Amino acid sequence: MEFELRAVPKPKHKRFKPTAKQRGQISTEVYEAAVERSGGRCERCGEKRYLQCAHLIRRWKVEIETTVNDVAMLCGPSVNTGTCHNIIDFTRGGKEWAEEYRQKLYKRH
Ligand SMILES: [Zn+2]
């Protein structure tokens, strides 16, 4: 099982309101919670493949910070057509799935 290695740089300056990029950042805690929830399988197709932590919502739409309900472990890489990460980023049906899945995650808590 392989996971994308991510290094999240610390913001250099304190800001009153975090930028869209900062709000879209996936913290280690969120990443680990998503990995645990996925059980090592793609949360969309269920395949045990190379997984990436994908945003279910556009980064600029995140209000304060990205939570575990805003992301899903999906098979990737996103640049490859046919992977779930590619589908949710680039197809209408995939975006709808992402939005519905996100609603479902928020309802569980
Ligand atoms: Zn998949």
- Answer whether residue 60 is part of any domain: yes
Distance 25 CA to ligand 1 centre (A): 22
Better-predicted residue by pLDDT, 5 or 65: 65
Predicted pLDDT of residue 18:
87
Residue 83 domain-assigned?
Answer: yes
Classify residue 2: in a domain, yes or no. Answer: no
As given in the structure block, the two tokens for residue 48 are 């045990």
Q: For residue 7, is it within any domain?
A: no
Range of the domain at 77: 20-107
CA distances from residue 81 to 15, 20, 75 in whole angstroms, order as listed: 37, 26, 11
In a domain, 93, yes or no: yes
Categorize the per-residue pLDDT at 108 as very low, low, confident or very high, splitting at 50, 70 and 90: confident
- Residue 65 is predicted with a pLDDT of 92
In whole angstroms, give the CA distance from residue 88 to residue 54. 9
Of 15 and 68, the structure prediction assigns the larger pLDDT to 68
The alpha helices in the chain, defined as continuous H runs, are 20-23, 28-38, 84-90, 92-107
pTM greater than the 0.85 cutoff: no
Average pLDDT over residues 63-82: 95
How would you label 66-102 residue by residue, b for 16+ Cβ within 10 Å and e otherwise?
Answer: bbbbbbbbbbbebeeeebbbbbbbeeeebbebbeebb
- Give me ligand 1 centre to Cα 80, in Å: 12
Report yes or no: 54 and 74 within 8 Å, Cβ to Cβ.
yes
What pLDDT score was predicted for residue 52? 97
| Within-domain flag for 12 | no
pLDDT tens digits, residue range 1-56? Answer: 555 666 666 666 665 788 988 999 999 999 999 999 999 999 999 999 999 999 99
Within-domain flag for 9: no
User: Please, is 34 exposed, middle or buried when counting C-beta atoms within 10 Å of its C-beta (0-12, 13-18, 19+)?
Assistant: buried
Q: Is residue 53 part of a domain?
A: yes
Distance 67 CA to ligand 1 centre (A): 21
How many domains, in total, are found in the chain? 1
Tell me: pLDDT of 61 over 60: yes
